[in-house]
Amino acid sequence: MARLPEYAVLDLKLERLPSEALLNLQAERLRAMVRYVYDATPFWRQKFEAINLVPDDIEGLADLPRIPFVTKQELQDDQAANPPFGSCSASPPSTWTRFMATSGTTGRPLRRVFSARDWQTVLDRFQRNPVLGPGDTAVILGPIDGLMGPMAGAEGLARSGALVVLAGLYPSRTKVELIRELRPTALSGSASYLLHLANVATEMGVDLTAQGIKGVLSVGEPGAAVPATRQRLAERYGAFVNDGYGLTELFPLGGGCLHSTALHVASDLVITEIVDPESGQPLPPGEPGEIVYTNLIGDTQPLLRYRTRDIGRLETDAACACGFTGARLALAIEGRVDDMIWFRGANLFPSAIEAVVRGFAELGDEYRVVVAGDEKLPTLTVEVEAADDGEGLAGRLIQALQAAVGVGASVEILPPSTLPQAEANQKARRVVDRRKSPPPHPSPIKGEGE
């Protein structure tokens, strides 16, 4: 039976390897992984055979681009044809101990299993650089059931010795009461929900900055990486704000640090590539493109060259001030290939609009981008909330949008609490396309489930 070697994950040195040592480690693990998936799964064997590739062809990292990409659609099709987990599952079912599903809003959710070995990897990766320990209290604001990041975070924190409070099923007001009584060291939730909860606390007359909270972890959507969002969260909670990042299809991968909001990706667990979303060609550090991951150590459903459809760019310097030497996504997740708004010949990302909106203190936390008109003459309206349009607010916002994203948008200022409110652990849907015939998407990966 095909097997992978045992790999140490707990050692903090793995995050600080000199560049050459890290590349050697990745190359060795890649060779073992290619051999493993080829021997263990019909799915990968067929993909390799379709292009006459054999494991021995992959000698090092330079050969990585010879490996075919895998898309979410392929995995969805494979799981539909070979239910419930697909023909890409490599380890024996008797070793599986955790089940998750992807949280995409449309299409068939991907079913993900973790062997005991894989889950140990996940927890070891959390624990090698523990942020909390005995005596700390962490309140997890959203539900954790079936969600990889929150579930791994809760288990990892408990293993580190912290008191973990699973508050996901409580109403928002109960959560605020709990925070006041427990005085937790740390909170975690989606950025949108954290902002909503701060408003609930204000309504209740609770000053969150006086509750002794030291750290706030934003999960599920870019939060800390958007400067204006980070500032809002820091002001409302009086705490350091950080992002947690991962993909259910892979692992929890990392997050920011005290020195940088760039996402530090555990590079002993995955190889990170940035490719042109249209041509698939690898791009150099500093250039934005689609993020592609290759799992180096998972034995259950490891993926080679998985196209995430997320947009990001790699840092150009070799190491972070914290000592981390692996891949870092400089501006975190800059958008989705799917969410990219193809507008009058330019690509727009909702996150760029969010950065502008959240820079205006007089605006509420919710916003929505509405594209309307038709293909030839589309219009873009940014809906925001404010108590009044004092001091030419709309005009200033239009100017700021023009300067930041380079398009002429109109602005609609709505009364507070008009737009849908963020819910715990739900990725907020920010873009509504009402064009009569939306233009064909420029992405080459058509017809995916999302």
Q: Which of 324, 342, 343, 349 forms a contact with Zn ion (CB under 5 A)?
A: 324
Considering beta carbons, is residue 103 or 129 the nearer one to Zn ion? 129
Q: Please give the full DSSP string across 42-105, using - where no structure is assigned.
A: HHHHHHHHHTT--GGG--SGGGGGGSPPB-HHHHHHHHHHSTTT-TT--S-GGGEEEEEE---S
Q: Which of 61, 158, 163, 322 forms a contact with Zn ion (CB under 5 A)?
A: 322
If one asks whether residue 320 binds Zn ion (CB under 5 A), the answer comes out as yes
Instruction: Return d(Cα 383, Cα 25) in angstroms, integer.
Output: 49
- Count of residues in contact with Zn ion, rule CB under 5 A: 6
Instruction: Return d(Cα 212, Cα 115) in angstroms, integer.
Output: 38
Closest contact distance (angstroms) between CB of 311 and Zn ion is 21
Closest contact distance (angstroms) between CB of 268 and Zn ion is 16
Closest contact distance (angstroms) between CB of 302 and Zn ion is 26
Residue 403's Cβ-count burial label (10 Å; 0-12, 13-18, 19+) is exposed
Instruction: Return d(Cα 402, Cα 374) in angstroms, integer.
Output: 21
Considering beta carbons, is residue 322 or 407 the nearer one to Zn ion? 322
If one asks whether residue 241 binds Zn ion (CB under 5 A), the answer comes out as no
Q: Who's near 159: CB < 8 A, 6+ residues apart?
A: 123, 126, 127
Backbone angles phi, psi at 309, to 5 degrees: 65, 5
- Where does this chain touch Zn ion (CB under 5 A) — which range of 181-189, 312-320, 383-391, 395-403? 312-320
If one asks whether residue 332 binds Zn ion (CB under 5 A), the answer comes out as no
Closest contact distance (angstroms) between CB of 194 and Zn ion is 22
Instruction: Return d(Cα 330, Cα 75) in angstroms, integer.
Output: 28
If one asks whether residue 197 binds Zn ion (CB under 5 A), the answer comes out as no
- Where does this chain touch Zn ion (CB under 5 A) — which range of 73-81, 173-181, 324-332, 402-410? 324-332
Contact 440, 157 (CB under 8 A): no
Q: Which of 73, 260, 347, 421 forms a contact with Zn ion (CB under 5 A)?
A: 260
Closest contact distance (angstroms) between CB of 129 and Zn ion is 10
Closest contact distance (angstroms) between CB of 151 and Zn ion is 25
- Where does this chain touch Zn ion (CB under 5 A) — which range of 67-75, 253-261, 351-359, 430-438? 253-261
If one asks whether residue 382 binds Zn ion (CB under 5 A), the answer comes out as no
Closest by CA position to 256, among listed 268, 266, 242: 242
Coil, strand or helix at 262: coil
Q: Bridge partners of 329?
A: 263, 314
Closest contact distance (angstroms) between CB of 252 and Zn ion is 16
- Where does this chain touch Zn ion (CB under 5 A) — which range of 5-13, 256-264, 308-316, 352-360? 256-264
Coil, strand or helix at 198: helix
Closest by CA position to 227, among listed 359, 366, 339: 359
Closest contact distance (angstroms) between CB of 324 and Zn ion is 5
Q: Which of 90, 164, 257, 333 forms a contact with Zn ion (CB under 5 A)?
A: 257
Contact residues: Zn ion, CB under 5 A: 257, 259-260, 320, 322, 324
